[in-house]
């Protein structure tokens, strides 16, 4: 399928110019006042993990701004809110503690990247501090930061991600539940069609956010 593959770092570097000094110097081993503020305003983060064999996964996490808690200059805590219980990312961390985080702020085109090691934790005091509406997460991800840096906005500028004029028209794709209906080898007996399935699951998700 793919031809002329690049298989070495030396060959890769022969294609690209060296990174600029600013791109290298911006990397830091700990949070500063600006990265702390960025995390405090971020309601959404993409979490990258891989298992011991190298199998990768990226999972979206979101909540009120600052839901990822800064504990000190090199440690973060992220609550694991209710989801579909596949536990892909958490399972990966059991075999490989390395983690990558990409923090986003709506309307802002730069991002904050954090790389480090992470563990699944059940510290009672920490879980209590991460509760919402009196509901504690079952676990949290404790993160030890190894590197943190801001990432340039070019990807967002090219994609026009925050510009509604460039968004697809409503209905360009079926809803997630409608797609799931088509993908299921056996349809749930309690629903007559995809639309009824969509309404039921959408209502259930609203009730089980925490």
- Tell me whether strands 75-79 and 44-50 are parallel, antiparallel or unpaired: unpaired
- Nearest CA to 101 out of 79, 127, 83, 78 is that of 78
pLDDT at position 164, please?
Answer: 96
Q: CA–CA separation, 74 vs 58, rounded Å?
A: 22
pLDDT at position 135, please?
Answer: 96
pLDDT at position 115, please?
Answer: 98
**Per-residue pLDDT of the chain in tens (210 residues, 90 and over written 9):** 999 999 999 999 999 999 999 999 999 999 999 999 999 999 999 999 999 999 999 999 999 999 999 999 999 999 999 999 999 999 999 999 999 999 999 999 999 999 999 999 999 999 999 999 999 999 999 999 999 999 999 999 999 999 999 999 988 999 999 999 999 999 988 998 999 999 999 889 889 999
> b/e string for 76-110 if b means 16 or more Cβ within 10 A?
bbbbbbeeeeeeebbebbeebeebbbbbbbeeebe
Q: CA–CA separation, 46 vs 133, rounded Å?
A: 24
Rg (CA), the chain: 20
pLDDT at position 162, please?
Answer: 97
pLDDT at position 85, please?
Answer: 95
């Amino acid at each position: 399928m793919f031809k002329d593959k690049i298989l070495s770092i030396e060959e890769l570097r022969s294609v690209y110019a060296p990174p600029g000094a600013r791109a290298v110097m911006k990397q830091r081993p700990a949070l500063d006042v600006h990265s702390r503020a960025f995390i405090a305003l971020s309601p959404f983060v993409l979490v990258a993990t891989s298992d011991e064999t190298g199998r990768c996964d990226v999972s979206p996490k979101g909540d009120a701004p600052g839901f990822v808690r800064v504990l000190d200059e090199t440690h973060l805590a992220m609550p694991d809110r209710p989801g579909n219980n596949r536990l892909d990312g958490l399972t990966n961390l059991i075999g490989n503690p390395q983690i990558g985080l990409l923090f986003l702020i709506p309307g802002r085109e730069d991002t904050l990247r954090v790389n480090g090691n992470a563990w699944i934790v059940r510290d009672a005091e920490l879980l209590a501090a991460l509760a919402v509406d009196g509901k504690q997460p079952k676990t949290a991800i404790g993160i030890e930061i190894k590197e943190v840096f801001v990432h340039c906005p070019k990807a967002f500028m090219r994609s026009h991600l925050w510009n509604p004029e460039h968004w697809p028209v409503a209905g360009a794709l079926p809803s997630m539940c409608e797609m799931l209906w088509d993908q299921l080898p056996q349809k749930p007996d309690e629903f007559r069609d995809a639309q009824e399935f969509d309404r039921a699951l959408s209502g259930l998700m609203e009730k089980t956010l925490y």
